[in-house]
Structure 1
Amino acid sequence: MKTITSRENPAYKEFKHLATSSQARRKAGRTLLDGVHLCEVYLDLRGLPQHCIVAESALAHPEVAALLARCEDGQAPVTMLPDALYNAISQVENGVGILFVIATPQAALPAALSVHCVLLDNLQDPGNVGSILRSAAAAGITQVFCGPGTAFCWSPKVLRAAMGAHFVLDIFENVDLAALVQTARIPVLATSGYASQSLYATNLNQPVAWILGHEGQGVSDELLNLATQRIAVPHLGQVESLNVAACAAVCFFEHLRQNQR
């Protein structure tokens, strides 16, 4: 285990740049996992990080100590920071005090839509994107395609909201969704509050591609016109529509329900 005590240390400056700049994370192809849960899930599902960073006060924490032992056993680099330096790079208030630096996973874009998947069209709220990833993983979906304008999936807020779902999904960003839809070998279902077809009257006994749209504007007209079908989630009351993350969860688990009968 190495120790860094100066803010001027080049490695520390690099850690801080990754922590505070989405552009830096994209350019470097690396991101940070903040907290015991995300680090543990990554170790379990993906293996060793590029670097483990720990706060001095966290060394005695039993869960942190267990993660450090796994990293050191695998010979992953570990750096300890005084709490003041660590807190300047952590994005979590009152966190336990452990971070992983990882290479952002990048899978090869498939030639066609052929398995149960989700397309995110200009979703801008990181909390919504993270919640959708979490629901997708829980419903057995394996692929998520993000169009331009969708929140960066490897940002701290999305990572926290998804609770480790990233590591059981193949996530593709900056995808031309219209071109992808035209390759589809499965039905493409676009959610719309104005659709006449109810989700619950739709036959979902096969893999489908779900299109979910911008929080205010919904799915773009281009993608609506390319979709196999437009569907709506029925709801009561005076609200105009469901939150997009809630809509996604209802759709995913209705698909799961129909396929478990």
Structure 2
Amino acid sequence: MKSVTSRDNPFYKELKSLAASSQARRKAGRTLLDGVHLCQSWLELRGAPNHCVVSEGALHNPEVADIVARCESLHAHVTALPDALFGALSQVEHGVNLLFLVETPAPVQPAAMSVSAVLLDGVQDPGNVGSILRSAAAAGITQVFCSAGTAFCWSPKVLRAAMGAHFVLEIFEHVDLGALIDASRISVLAMSGYAEQKLWQVDLRGPVAWLLGHEGQGVADDLMGRATHQVVIPHAGRVESLNVAAAGAICFFEQLRQRQA
């Protein structure tokens, strides 16, 4: 284990840049995972991080000490920081002062969809994106395609909301969803409050792609026109619509229900 005590240390400056800026994370192709749960999930599902960063005070936490020991056994770099320096890196209130520095996964995008997937068209709220990823992974969906206007999936807020779902998904960003839909080998279902076909009237036992749109504007018209089906989730209340993450979860688990029936 190494120790860094200076704010002028180049590695510490790199960490601060990555912690503060999505642009820096995109440019570097690196991401910070903050907290015990995300770090444990990465170890279990992806293996050793590039670097484990821990505050000196957190080393007395048994969970943190165990993660640090596992990283050292996997020959990952481990660096300890004074608590005051670490505080400038974390966005988690009352966290345990543990970070992993990892390479942002960049899977090769398939030419066409052939397994169940989620298409996010301009979903901007990081909490919604993270919740959608978490629900998709829980329902057995493996691929997520995001348009350029969708929140950056590897931002801290999305990572926290997804609770480790990133590590079992293939996530593709800055995708031309129109071209992807045109090449699709599976049905594409667009969610719309104005559709006549109800969700449970569609046969979902095979692979489908779920097209979810912007929180206020919904799915873009050009993409809506490309969809195989436009479907609605009926609801009995007087509210106008469902939150996009809630709607996505209902869709994913209706598909799972049909498959398991």
3-state SS of paired residue (1:259): helix
Match of 1:134 in 2: 134
Q: CA deviation at 1:2?
A: 0.7
Structure 2 regions of 5+ residues with no counterpart?
none
Match of 2:14 in 1: 14
TM-score by length of 1: 0.99
Match of 2:199 in 1: 199
Partner Cα distance (2:258, 2:71) in 1: 42
Match of 1:91 in 2: 91
One-letter amino acid of the counterpart of residue 147, structure 1: S
Match of 2:75 in 1: 75
Partner Cα distance (1:188, 1:201) in 2: 15
Partner Cα distance (2:172, 2:200) in 1: 29
One-letter amino acid of the counterpart of residue 98, structure 1: L
Partner Cα distance (1:110, 1:170) in 2: 10
User: Deviation per CA, 1:43-79, whole angstroms, max 9, x where unpaired?
Assistant: 0000100110001110010000010001111111100
Matched ranges for 1:140-219 at <5 A: 140-219=140-219
Match of 2:226 in 1: 226
Partner Cα distance (1:3, 1:21) in 2: 24
3-state SS of paired residue (1:129): helix
User: Deviation per CA, 1:101-120, whole angstroms, max 9, x where unpaired?
Assistant: 00000100001011000000
Structure 1 regions of 5+ residues with no counterpart?
none
Q: CA deviation at 1:220?
A: 0.4
After TM superposition, the runs of 4+ consecutive aligned structure 1 residues lying more than 4 A away are: none
User: Deviation per CA, 1:182-230, whole angstroms, max 9, x where unpaired?
Assistant: 0111110000010000001111121100000000000000110000010
Match of 1:254 in 2: 254
Alpha-carbon RMSD: 0.5
One-letter amino acid of the counterpart of residue 104, structure 1: T
Q: CA deviation at 1:236?
A: 1.4
User: Deviation per CA, 1:7-37, whole angstroms, max 9, x where unpaired?
Assistant: 1111100010000010000000000000000
Partner Cα distance (1:91, 1:145) in 2: 27
Partner Cα distance (2:76, 2:25) in 1: 20
Q: CA deviation at 1:92?
A: 0.5
Q: Give the share of equivalent positions with the same residue, in percent.
A: 69
3-state SS of paired residue (1:93): coil
One-letter amino acid of the counterpart of residue 221, structure 1: D
Partner Cα distance (1:75, 1:185) in 2: 43
One-letter amino acid of the counterpart of residue 205, structure 2: N
3-state SS of paired residue (1:204): coil
2:29 equivalent to 1:29 = yes
Partner Cα distance (1:204, 1:71) in 2: 42
2:45 equivalent to 1:45 = yes
Partner Cα distance (1:164, 1:42) in 2: 7
One-letter amino acid of the counterpart of residue 131, structure 2: S
TM-score by length of 2: 0.99
Partner Cα distance (2:250, 2:162) in 1: 17
